[in-house]
Amino acid sequence: MLVSKDMERSVFSQRLLGSAMALLLVTTVNRAWAGEIAAYWGQSDTEGSLVSLYNTGNYNIILISFLYQFGRGQSSSLNLEGHCDPPSGGCKRYASQIRTCQSKGIKVLLSLGGADGNYGFNAPDEARALAQQIWNSYMGGNGRDRPLGDAQLDGIDLDIEHGGSQYYADLGRGLRELAQNNAYKKVYLSLAPQFPFPDKSLGPASSKFLFSKLADYIFVQFYNNQDCDIRGRENAVVSAWRQWTSSLPDPKPKVFFGLPASQAAGDGYMSPNTLKNNILPRIKSIGNYGGVMLWDPTSGNGNYAANIRSSV
């Protein structure tokens, strides 16, 4: 049978359109699963500078840790162990590095709490007072005491491991109100619960932060927890992930799989290959997958993020 040139062009166009639609579908699926990598920075002198993290091209969120003392009549204090001394003004040199990261789309948040800090609130007024202080010292305010110089951070992270669970929602709401009233950029709120559900400090439960529906990101810590050891228990890990992602109140925040980046952690280290081959393919399709969080990203194994980047 003879085929006209017009018919040939029509068939070719249909095939081209079909290929384009298939490519668009694959791209859409990949983007739907595309995750980010968050990293805590500030507690190890082997981490290098903030710009060194940016230069790897592997990180999307940096969590400066920790504001380790606040509330209950105390002055708030920043501890960047091994990097600089905040009281002497030595940490102000990081202002330009923070701006560089932000100019490339990396969100930089201030993490509150930690395992060894002294913190907590006795009343909602204390939480709102801290919101004002953080605004003045780390965000859009004009406080004289600015440990990180004139850098304007993108939000706060809560790594609350003791000291009570109340009034953190008042802190988050206070910061959001200050930002809105001063035409500031969006203030992101994240938290880092332990993976046994629910977290004793952060919930979700009445009066705890997760009940407030304020969180943008949740960095679930699948490590350094005496209640559970995840090594070799991949089904249990996926089950815990499913519980976290399905039990959060709407609007559901993005949930990140939190791991140490080296075997120097007390427990919970997982090899990049195990994460890529046995965990990520299973959790990506469950709930509100956001990506991977790494503790101490360049300690012991600076290549961890690079090893997993294409799979996240």
Q: Provide the annotated active-site residues.
A: 161
User: What angle is formed at CA 275 by the lines to CA 64 and CA 210, rounded to 5 degrees?
Assistant: 50
List helix spans (H) across the chain: 5-33, 50-56, 95-103, 124-138, 168-181, 234-247, 272-274, 280-283, 304-308
Task: For residues 133 and 79, give the distance between their C-alpha atoms in angstroms, rounded to a whole number.
Answer: 16
How many C-beta atoms lie closer than 10 Å to residue 290's C-beta? 25
Task: For residues 249 and 174, give the distance between their C-alpha atoms in angstroms, rounded to a whole number.
Answer: 21
Q: Which two tokens stand for residue 240?
A: 């815990």
Peptide bond into 12 cis (omega under 30): no
Specify the 3-state DSSP secondary structure of 289.
Answer: strand
Task: For residues 295 and 110, give the distance between their C-alpha atoms in angstroms, rounded to a whole number.
Answer: 15
70 contacts 127 by C-beta, under 8 angstroms: no
Task: For residues 220 and 255, give the distance between their C-alpha atoms in angstroms, rounded to a whole number.
Answer: 7
In 125-149, which positions are buried (b, 16+ CB within 10 angstroms) versus exposed (e)?
A: ebbbbbbebbbbbbbebeeeebbbe
Nearest to 254 by CA among 286, 218, 281: 218
Q: Which two tokens stand for residue 303?
A: 């290549």
Task: For residues 97 and 62, give the distance between their C-alpha atoms in angstroms, rounded to a whole number.
Answer: 12
